[in-house]
Structure formats: structure tokens, C-alpha cells
Amino acid sequence: MLYAVFCYNQEDVTANWTKDEDDKVMRDLAAVQRKYGDAGKLGPVARLLPTTAATTLRHAVGETVVIDGPFAETKEQLLGFYVVDCASLDEALDFARELSAANPADGSYEIRPLAIYKPSEFPS
């Protein structure tokens, strides 16, 4: 089963890390990535740019509006995600626990099973 692991944290905290602090976190996360990559279980990984670089397209009541910035006002922002191939939710949770241990900032990891969408499999 493929799982998406979404990484949330307080952007104002992670944005204030020194280069050395950020480099250490990236090295520690890379060690977790290598472990799962070497086992053939790691799919795409993305680190998102800050929410100040976000644009949101919102559709409501028949009108579409494009606004600068993220959609929601929240304490934690989505900072990145992983796609992992795990035998069970427990294995996906183990992966998220390892990411959490590698990251010194408080945050959360949301784990969701993925359904693959292949438009080519649907007739037009």
C-alpha cells in the first residue's frame, strides 16, 4: 500500500533555523530517506517553499478567485511530503516516527493511504 506522509510544522520556527541547523535536519532526514530508499519503499519526496510563495485558486458559488498565499490560517503549515510503500499502516507510522525523531521542531505527520489515479484508464 502506498501512503502519503504529510509533514506539518510552524513555518516561522523552521524559517528561523540557521543554515547549520537546517543542514543538520536535512542530513538526519536524509538518513531516514536512505533507509527506506535502499529498501525500495521510498517514492517522491518534496520540500515545499514557504507559504508566502503559495497561490490558492478557490471556487465557490460559481465563481473562481485566485488569491496569494495559503488557503487556511493555521498554526502549522504543510512543509513537505513523502510517498512510501509500506505493508501496513503500522510500518507507515514507524516511518513517520523516524522522521519525527530526526526533526527537532515540534510538528505533526499526517499519514494517508493513496489511491493512484490514472486518467488514461478512463474513456473520454
d(C-alpha 81, C-alpha 88), whole Å: 18
Query: Is the pLDDT at 72 greater than 60, yes or no?
Result: no
Query: Is the pLDDT at 87 greater than 90, yes or no?
Result: yes
d(C-alpha 86, C-alpha 89), whole Å: 7
Strand order in the sheet with 107-113: 42-47, 77-85, 2-9, 107-113
d(C-alpha 124, C-alpha 9), whole Å: 41
pLDDT tens track for 50-60: 888 888 877 77
pLDDT for residue 124: 64
The whole-model pTM stands at 0.82
pLDDT for residue 92: 96
Higher-pLDDT residue of 19, 61:
19
d(C-alpha 121, C-alpha 124), whole Å: 9
Higher-pLDDT residue of 14, 122:
14
